[in-house]
Amino acid sequence: MPPVRLLQVAGTLNPTYGGPCVVVNQLTRSLTELGHCVDVVTTDPPSAPWLTDLPGAPRPFGPARGRYGYSRQLSLWLQRHVPDYDAVTVHGIWQYQSRAVHAACRGTGVPYFLFVHGALDPWFEQRYPGKHLKKSLYWRLFEHRALRDARAVLYTCEEERRLARTAFTPYQAREAIVGIGIERPPGDPARQREVFLAQNPHLEGARTLLFLGRLHPKKGCDLLIEAFAQICHQDERLHLVVAGPDESGTETKLRMLAESLRVADRITFLGMLNDDAKWGAYRSADAFVLTSHSENFGIVIAEALACGLPVLISDKVNIWREIQRCDAGLVETDTLAGATSLLQRWIALPGIERAEMRRRAQACFLDNFEARGAALGFITSIAEAIGEAGAA
């Protein structure tokens, strides 16, 4: 395959916004290692500290205006430079970058690919009906055209594609499923455990259940805390760790819930973890738990699997079928009964079965979510589309 010149466009690369930022950086790094030329543009401000040392040397065109992320600079640059590339990938909808790419690619013959990143999950309509009405109007005016005219709308699994079709009308899209992945965890596992436990000595010898991710209502952390309160008396070693950046005071509400259930002394809130402390949290845990109401892919699930950590997840995590097929964790509904069952089933497993599941977790990662294989599949799809465009 000849080298592909690919432009990736993202609203932000701020890691506190979760998975899409990781996907952009990981794809850029993996594709560059495979010999392709990848550039990244974003509407982050030039002073953003998270832009330092990222792959692709992202070009910032911010600060963008408001939550919509409007950037005239980005639009002008795209109009001028899109013809320099073989293809464009835009990450995310509902913000200006998808509209800007749609306009810039029109009439150039350069195909663009649109990563939805879970933004068409029907859960958002149920949770935020007022916002859904506004999005319905924007969809009819602008966004549906961005999907309709994309060479492909990219979904990370069949479940995400199935759900997206029900979100808004009109819906017209050439769909493709492309796996995404992460690199194998860096560093020394023993050292990472030491770093984490040195920072949290009260967790030495504990059976830690780990949640790691943004603290947002859709993550179902309230269910997790309530379920934990129901089962933690069965083993005094059980401890719940909740790690991740806070959004809109969610951590305060969760702390109050833990206090009201009288389990605050069995739960540790750690904020956002990075580097060895983050990997040490995975490597020190007994299991990873995500009782989410809506989860497109879950980079944190891939990270847990890469560390050989079984995952206890809800069936609203879109890759639950892959986890179930690999027998790399347990799956239940996103209800209190489901969350309680997840934890109860896990702590009831004999040690030998938990050890076997750890082995299967790592195998699941290598077979499904490892970066190089995912990048090869992604760029093959892009190259095929470029060939089709050239033939046309």
Bridge-based pairing of strands 207-212 and 238-243 is parallel
Partnered with residue 55 across adjacent β-strands are none
User: In degrees, to the nearest 5, what angle opens at C-alpha 85 toward C-alphas 79 and 86?
Assistant: 130
- Asked whether the domain spanning 189-368 has the same topology as the one spanning 5-182+371-387, the reply is yes
Token pair of 6, please? 């690919």
CATH class of the domain whose range is 5-182+371-387: alpha beta
Sign of torsion over alpha carbons 378, 379, 383, 389: positive
Q: How many residues does the chain have?
A: 392
Q: What is the pLDDT of residue 389?
A: 55
Residue ranges of domains in the chain? 5-182+371-387, 189-368
Tally Cβ neighbours within 10 Å of residue 15.
15
Q: What end-to-end distance do the CA atoms of the chain give, in Å?
A: 20
Rounded to whole angstroms, the Cα distance separating 76 from 88 reads 15
Model pLDDT, residue 342: 98
Q: Note the CATH architecture for domain 189-368.
A: 3-Layer(aba) Sandwich (3.40)
| Each residue's pLDDT expressed in tens, for the chain with a length of 392 residues | 789 999 999 999 998 887 789 899 999 999 999 999 999 999 999 999 999 888 888 999 999 999 899 999 999 999 999 999 999 999 999 999 999 999 999 999 999 999 999 899 888 877 788 888 999 999 999 999 999 999 999 998 888 999 999 999 999 999 999 888 899 999 999 999 999 999 999 999 999 999 999 999 999 999 999 999 999 999 999 999 999 999 789 999 999 999 999 999 999 999 999 999 999 999 999 999 999 998 888 899 999 999 999 999 999 999 999 999 999 999 999 999 999 999 999 999 999 999 999 999 999 999 999 999 889 989 998 888 777 655 55
- Cα(252)–Cα(249) distance, rounded to whole angstroms? 5
| Predicted local distance difference test score (pLDDT) of residue 157 | 87
Question: CA-to-CA distance for 120 and 123, rounded, in angstroms?
Answer: 9
pLDDT at 392: 53
Question: 175: exposed, middle or buried (C-beta count within 10 Å: 0-12, 13-18, 19+)?
Answer: middle
Q: What 3-state class would DSSP assign to 248?
A: coil
Six-digit token pair at 192?
Answer: 């990472």
7 Cβ neighbours under 8 A, 6+ residues apart: 38, 39, 40, 41, 81, 82, 85, 87, 88, 89
Q: How far apart are CA 114 and CA 164, in angstroms?
A: 13
- Residue bearing tokens 């540790």: 268
**Both tokens assigned to 22:** 């990781």
